[in-house]
Amino acid sequence: MTTTTTTTAGGIQAVKPTVASHIRDYWGRVRGGDLGSLPAVLGLLVLALIFGVARSDTFLSALNFANLFTQSAQVVFIAMGLVFVLLLGEIDLSAGFASGVCGAVMAILLTNHGLPWYVAIPAAMLAGIVIGLMLGVLVAKLGIPSFVVTLAAFLGFQGVLLTMLKGGQNISITDEFVKSLNNGNLSTAWSWGLAILAVVGYAGIQLNRVRSRAARNLITDPIGIVLFRIGGLAVLLFAATAVLTQERAINPAINSLKGVPIVVPIIAIAMIIWSFVLGRTTYGRHVYAVGGNTEAARRAGIPVDRIRISVFVICSFMASIGGILVVSRASSVDPNTGGSNILLYSVGAAVIGGTSLFGGKGKVINAVIGGAVIAVIDNGMGLMGFSSGQKYIFTGLVLLAAASVDALARRRASATGS
């Protein structure tokens, strides 16, 4: 193996990475405890394989595949928001019921007040922002541990939801636009168009990055790795699109059912925006810094309190979208919307996907991958005839395993570092 040395970035000698050295570096990071989403991706493959073999007729059907997205949308949205909170080493236990409250705000405005969706949806999102602001101020300014603040809010919002629903009524919605958000599908043309756009866009960004860094004589990822990433995304998206554009109605003559669920691009857009914010903006950098070493961040002049408040705002805001989507799916809201296992599944999704409970480590995509793991367990075990009790026990064990991986990785990192 020949390695070429290059002098870059103002004269620092560096080894020009090859595909082999890139893989070696990655493996080194994994061994050093930086596993990221690797365990979740492997887990997802294993689970899909098991359920696919055991229930090939149902689990592997296009209908079931589409259901995975619509069923898990709420959890995935809350989990994406929770990543920000977890990055600071905080927790938001109220996000589940916050999403229920926001969903109820929308339903009440739509149904009881007859307002259009373009008023009701922003109002629900605003409710989420206000809730997050409240939680964040209590944590950052009064210094109450987030565990306590959000535990109180968990109870409180449950009560708020019950009160809003006049002691337990169901409120149904009839607005077609809202219902389509988490029930509708894109046309076949739109499905393929967006998939191609996503791959082309990703390829453009990746290749442009390599080109501009190379032009400035900075080290770039080897082109083989970049092409592999682009190819991987293309295979994944095109295969999923091919499956989802199949007819999946039981009786297509009555009601045709095909196309990528509308909620998929909604999740994708949220993931792209928040990944951009976290990875490419000053704000995101400061979130990581506060999560990694609050004192260092403070000394660097970062407004720590404002960052702390902002992550709760983002979390509750994302929970509000989760609430909108779950109300859309059920076409109604009830006192348990956002209750039962939603919050625990959301925390589980973020952590299983590779977000650290100790703060400072995690990505938005972790929430999506972890959400997929939870959705597959919930869905697959259901199809195999396991009871709810058994599903909860297994999901709990998976969460525990993910948290153990996190804790062990942290130990390992402190052993290999410094």
Q: Which residues contact another protein by CB under 8 A? A: 8-15, 32, 34, 212-213, 216, 218-219, 280-282, 285-286, 288-289, 291-293, 295-302, 360-361, 413-414, 416-418
Rounded Cα–Cα distance for residues 97 and 323 (Å): 9
Nearer to another protein, 10 or 389 (CB): 10
Q: Which is nearer to another protein, 267 or 304 (CB)?
A: 304
CB nearer another protein, residue 1 or residue 253: 1
DSSP helix/strand/coil, 7:
strand
Structure tokens at 396: 């709990």
Closer residue to another protein, CB minimum distance, 15 or 46 = 15
Give me the least distance between CB of 115 and another protein, in Å please: 34
CA 174 to chain centre: 28
Helix axes 364-383 and 263-280, enclosed angle (nearest 10): 150
Work out the angle between the directed axes of helices 223-244 and 19-31 (0-180°, nearest 10).
80
Q: Give least dist CB 249 to another protein, A.
A: 44
* Least separation in angstroms between CB 398 and another protein: 25
Question: Smaller CB distance to another protein: residue 385 or 417?
Answer: 417
DSSP state at residue 71:
H
Q: Which residue reads 């009701």 in tokens?
A: 120
Residue ranges with strand state E in 216-374: 332-333
Pairing assessment for the beta strands 5-8 and 12-15 based on DSSP bridges: antiparallel
Residue 296 C-beta: closest distance to another protein, Å: 4
The least CB distance from residue 355 to another protein, in Å, is 12
CB-nearer residue toward another protein: 4 or 418? 418
Contact 37/353 with Cβ under 8 angstroms?
yes
CB of 174 to another protein, least distance (A): 40
What residues have CB less than 8 Å from 368, skipping those under 6 apart? 76, 79, 80, 267, 271, 353
Indicate the residue among 8 and 180 with the shorter CB distance to another protein.
8
Cα–chain center distance at 272? 10
Nearer to another protein, 163 or 208 (CB): 208
DSSP secondary-structure letter at 248? -
Collapsing DSSP states into helix, strand and coil, what is residue 357?
A: coil
Taking the complex as a whole, the smallest distance from the CB of residue 346 to another protein amounts, in Å, to 23
CA distance 48 to 118: 39
**Smallest separation (angstroms) from another protein to the CB of 282:** 5
